[in-house]
Structure 1
Amino acid sequence: MNYQKTEVRAIDNIGITVPEIETAAKFLEEAFGATAIYDNVIPSDPPQSGAEAEATLGFAKGSAIVHMRMMRIGDGACIELFEMKVQGNVKKDIIPSDIGLQHFAVYTEDIMVTKDKFEKAGGRLLKGPNEMLGREGGEGNQFMYGLLLGGLL
């Protein structure tokens, strides 16, 4: 494939709002070997809130970022975890047919080892491993979808 050079070089991070950072970070560590790079906001800091933060970051009025942590998985893009306090927000589990971030994918040397770690960390895997479909098909190319129910991520 012939790629053209552009000003954008790669994805730096994907942001995910989670109910509780320590639980989400522990899951990412156990399931994927993620490491915490840094905490940008910690619970003892004043929360990021108010009209200026709402205008800059686009979150709902009355919300507050109380904890932010950047996580790295291997050599890929990072996952930036946001723990927010939002008045009246009731968490529902997100499924792939919902609008928004549907999934993120990881490369692995051994899908069965990763499968075991994912389940042990609290994830629930769907059918698989499955052979990759279409143009991604080929010897050794497999995938599985998993769900993180109960507020892990």
Structure 2
Amino acid sequence: MNVNRGINHIGLTVPDMEVATDFFKKGLNGKIAYDSQKKTDEPRGGDYVEHILGLEKGASIIHKRMMVFGNGPNIEMFEFKDAHQGQSQALQDIGYTHISFYVEAEAFERVLEQVKEAGGEPISEPHSNTKYEDTEGNKTVYVKSPWGSLIELQTIPHGYYYPNDSEASVFIPTSFND
């Protein structure tokens, strides 16, 4: 029995919660589910929190927000104070490097413009996906968010094809009405 249902959320630390929220709302139609930590609350830190979350001494969470995007995984965002923070710079860096949003093919250019208007900067022009994703009408582009994280916009309207030794099919979010 497979007890793993799939990805629930992706954690993302941002330098400014409101800038990130504004980008995700305007650029990708994100919606706030809840704030489990607000700036008006006592910051979440101290020895116990440092221990259970692996934080550096003195770092504390000042804002934590869950955002919803269509019917895919949610994004849980964190804003810290008193933390020494580095930043992933490019796709070759170790760690989680980007979040990919599936976009309807007929809306791809419109969504890209929406993301740019929200402060995103495309790294290149939209281009074809790579092997197994390069079916008719496919398209992808990486965009830097206002705080520097990579966001991918992708469409594969005619689905994937798979090698003979494939063990599973890739999840593609289905259409929904909001």
TM-score (norm: length of structure 1) = 0.89
> Which of 133, 145, 150 does residue 148 from structure 1 map onto?
145
Q: Secondary structure at the match of 1:31?
A: helix
Match of 1:124 among 121, 131, 147: 121
Q: Which has the higher contact order (CA 8 A, sep 6+)?
A: 1
CA separation in 1, counterparts of 2:32 and 2:148?
16
Identity level (%): 32
Task: Look up the equivalent residue of 1:113 and give its one-letter code.
Answer: R
For the 8 Å contact 2:12–2:77, the answer to whether it is kept is yes
| Aligned residue identity for 2:94 | I
Partner of 2:133: 136
What amino acid sits opposite 2:21 in the alignment? A
In structure 2, the residue matched to 1:25 is 21
In the alignment, is residue 53 of structure 1 matched against residue 49 of structure 2?
Answer: yes
Is the contact between residue 43 and residue 60 of structure 2 (CA under 8 Å) also seen in structure 1? yes
Residue type of the alignment partner of 1:16: L
Q: Give the distance between the partners of 1:108 and 1:123, measured in 2 at CA.
A: 16
* Aligned structure 1 segments of 4 or more residues deviating by more than 3 angstroms: 90-93
TM-score scaled by length of structure 2: 0.77
Query: Number of matched residues?
Result: 147
What's the CA shift string for 1:57-76, capped at 9, x where partnerless?
Answer: 11111100000000011111
Q: Is the 8 A contact 1:42 1:66 kept in 2?
A: yes
Residue 136 of structure 1 aligns to a residue whose secondary structure is coil
- TM-superposed deviation, 1:114: 1.1
Question: CA distance change for structure 1 residues 91 and 83 in 2, over 3 Å: closer, same or farther?
Answer: same
Out of 106, 112, 117, the residue aligned to residue 115 of structure 1 is 112
In structure 2, list runs of 5 or more residues that go unmatched.
150-178
RMSD: 1.6
